[in-house]
Structure formats: C-alpha cells, structure tokens
A and B are shown apart, each in its own frame.
Chain A
Amino acid sequence: GAVVSQHPSWVICKSGTSVKIECRSLDFQATTMFWYRQFPKQSLMLMATSNEGSKATYEQGVEKDKFLINHASLTLSTLTVTSAHPEDSSFYICSARDLAGGVNEQFFGPGTRLTVL
C-alpha cells in the first residue's frame, strides 16, 4: 500500500518552455501532497504543500507564479514549472500523506528529473 507515482520520470526541455509534472496516490486518498526539489548532493527542500481543493502553501523563497500547483482531486496533484530556465534543472519529488495508514508518514513518488537546456 501507500504507493505514489509521478509522471514523467524525466524530461528535457528548451529554456522558456513550461513543464507539467503529475503526482498520483495510487491506493489511497491524499488530502495533502508535498512538492520537493533536490539539487545534486543536497537534501530535499520543500517547495510547497498542496491541499485538495484549496490553494497551495509555498515555502519562503519559492515563486508561486513560477511553480504552479493544482490539487484538483484526492489522488492527483500537478506541478507546472513555467518558463523554465537552466537553473530550474533539478530532481522534483512529490510525496503524499496517508492519514489512514499512519498519522504523519509521507510516501514519496519516484521523482522527475528535469533538465532545461
């Protein structure tokens, strides 16, 4: 149980384009999903908390107009990187809380590796 999927697993795009990443909870409902970014040899940095049916809560320093988050259903959240630039190249990982399975445990998707040329 508690399986989270992400799509795509990797993407290469030109500078200035937008990229959408999907995060799905496959066998549970996730009222809250989280989006992280990880640069090489660094730890995970929380970008935003995504709540179903409401606006996302962004961490300090994360541009909400650049990283658009939509959590339209209990099993799907999307992150859109708008007008991507090379410095946005990173490993983007989502996670979801399974409230039924454990109070505060988060389960991670496999991640999406974004490369912006």
Chain B
Amino acid sequence: QKEVEQNSGPLSVPEGAIASLNCTYSDRGSQSFFWYRQYSGKSPELIMSIYSNGDKEDGRFTAQLNKASQYVSLLIRDSQPSDSATYLCAVGENSGGSNYKLTFGKGTLLTVNP
C-alpha cells in the first residue's frame, strides 16, 4: 500500500511570513509529485508539479523534491489570508498499462492570520 504522509496541522502563520508544508511518501520509485490547494467545500486546484530533484519556483510558490529522502515540500512566500486552505500532496504512480493514478495525503490545513 503506497502511502503519502502529511502533517494535518493546522499550520498557522502571520501574513507576510513563509509557510512551509511537508510531505513524505513510501514508494521510492515514484516519479511525479504534485501540490494541490483545496478551499473548504471546493475541489482541489493544481498549484505545482515537480518531477526532478531540487527546487521549482512559480511566483510565490516553491516546490522542493528530494527523492533520496522521499520528501517533497511546498514553500509559500509572503503568505496572504487568501492562501488559507488545505494543501494536498499527491504522488503519481503507473497502475498498469496506460493507467496512471494519484495517491493523496490527508492534507495540511494552513491558516494565514492578518
């Protein structure tokens, strides 16, 4: 059973601070990693995808991947109250033939305080 672990939080940071969200995964062979944001009552929204070791930056978001440690993180710089949401880490796997699926962590609830 492939597992994706996240700290459920809540993680509370002041406005303007850096929020750091962490995720570990069990399958050493995983190649694709994603961060989704989910507001309460809404469906997930893709924020970042990362496939190679190192950092990937997109605006205020930076995803970091360390395959040796089986660890992926998301940094949010200059956090805004509108960033308050649950952040889901997802790991991709080939499930046979052309099938491909994501395994999600339980999510970390982030609260950015004005």
| A-facing residues in B72-105 (Cβ within 8 Å) | 88, 92, 95-96, 98-105
Which 8 A-B pairs give the minimum distances between C-beta atoms? A111-B43, A43-B106, A108-B43, A104-B32, A43-B104, A44-B104, A93-B43, A104-B92
Residues of B within 8 A of A102 (CB): 49
Interface residue tally for chain B (C-beta within 8 Å):
24
Taken residue by residue from 46 to 76, chain A's Cβ proximity to chain B (1 for < 8 Å, 0 otherwise) reads as: 1001010000010000000000000000000
Q: Flag whether A77 is at the interface (Cβ < 8 A).
A: no
**Chain B interface mostly:** strand
Asked if residues A51 and B43 are in contact (CB atoms below 8 Å), the reply is: no
Complex CA–CA separation, A93 to B44 (angstroms):
9
Please give the distance in Å from B11's CB to the nearest CB on chain A. Answer: 16
